[in-house]
Copies of this chain bind each other. A is one copy, B any other.
């Protein structure tokens, strides 16, 4: 685990600025946020269920996932974390973690001590409020996932997940020309959707055949966003994006 201090750029700042314009003071406080930055290889646990962490992790780049294991060893991914996300923010208020967080691709991760987070929330209430907002939006995403896994099947279920990922990636400028990098394996999609890997493969093939997606390695292209949205019954309201981002 290679560690250094102060990253080149902090995607958290961009994310918060999409909600409200930061004052110079607030921006400076976020830029100076003391955090330990580490580069983690793919498929490494960052924190584990049962841990009682004294810090939270900010994803600076790469893909991570939040997951739980059943007693019989089956894995359920309950959300994907991308740049700007703090997938274990709740550990600030709930002592014991009820989920694990793992990298999917190589990730730059910033570890921020809880006391530092508490301090910045106290000193800059708007930032504190933004963190809470994020936590509530996370909950809204989990609700949507319950519905997706519970009610949609095959193409529709996967389409919905892809729509969510694309919208969230677009919000942090990781989509260009309907193309994004999605280093998620079919097995990982399976664990997120409650499908078997074989079934994911067959659903993907059907989606390609129907012109809903095009893939080339880890690149994903959406030739017809409206069609994908319709097939996935995707309504981005639950992501609670402000203003213009939700569109298109």
- Interface contact B98-A237, CB-CB below 8 Å: yes
A112, chain B: closest CB distance, angstroms:
18
A97, chain B: closest CB distance, angstroms:
9
Residue of B nearest to A194 (CB): B150
- Interface contact B133-A68, CB-CB below 8 Å: no
Chain B residue contacts of A70, Cβ below 8 A = 147, 151-152, 233
A16, chain B: closest CB distance, angstroms:
15
Chain B residue contacts of A72, Cβ below 8 A = 233
Chain B residue contacts of A138, Cβ below 8 A = 139
A91, chain B: closest CB distance, angstroms:
9
Over the window 98-140 of chain A, the binary record of Cβ atoms lying under 8 Å from chain B Cβ atoms (1 yes, 0 no) is 1100000000000000000000000000000100110111111
- Interface contact B146-A76, CB-CB below 8 Å: yes
Give chain A interface residues in 169-198, CB to chain B under 8 Å: 193-194
Chain B residue contacts of A144, Cβ below 8 A = 68, 98
Specify how many copies of this chain sit in the oligomer.
Answer: 2
Does A2 make an interface contact (CB < 8 A)?
Answer: no
* CA of A68 to CA of B129, assembled, Å: 26
- Interface contact A151-B76, CB-CB below 8 Å: yes
Does A93 make an interface contact (CB < 8 A)?
Answer: yes
A205, chain B: closest CB distance, angstroms:
22
Give chain A interface residues in 139-155, CB to chain B under 8 Å: 139-140, 142-147, 149-152
Give chain A interface residues in 47-67, CB to chain B under 8 Å: 49-50, 66
Over the window 215-248 of chain A, the binary record of Cβ atoms lying under 8 Å from chain B Cβ atoms (1 yes, 0 no) is 0000000000000000001010110100000000
Does A13 make an interface contact (CB < 8 A)?
Answer: no
A75, chain B: closest CB distance, angstroms:
8
Over the window 16-52 of chain A, the binary record of Cβ atoms lying under 8 Å from chain B Cβ atoms (1 yes, 0 no) is 0000000000000000000000000000000001100
Chain A residues with a Cβ under 8 A of chain B = 49-50, 66, 68, 70-72, 74-76, 78, 90, 93-94, 96, 98-99, 129, 132-133, 135-140, 142-147, 149-152, 193-194, 233, 235, 237-238, 240
**Given A71-B233, A78-B146, A98-B238; 12 other pairs, CB 8 A cutoff:** A68-B144, A68-B147, A74-B151, A78-B143, A90-B139, A94-B137, A94-B240, A98-B240, A132-B132, A135-B135, A139-B139, A146-B146
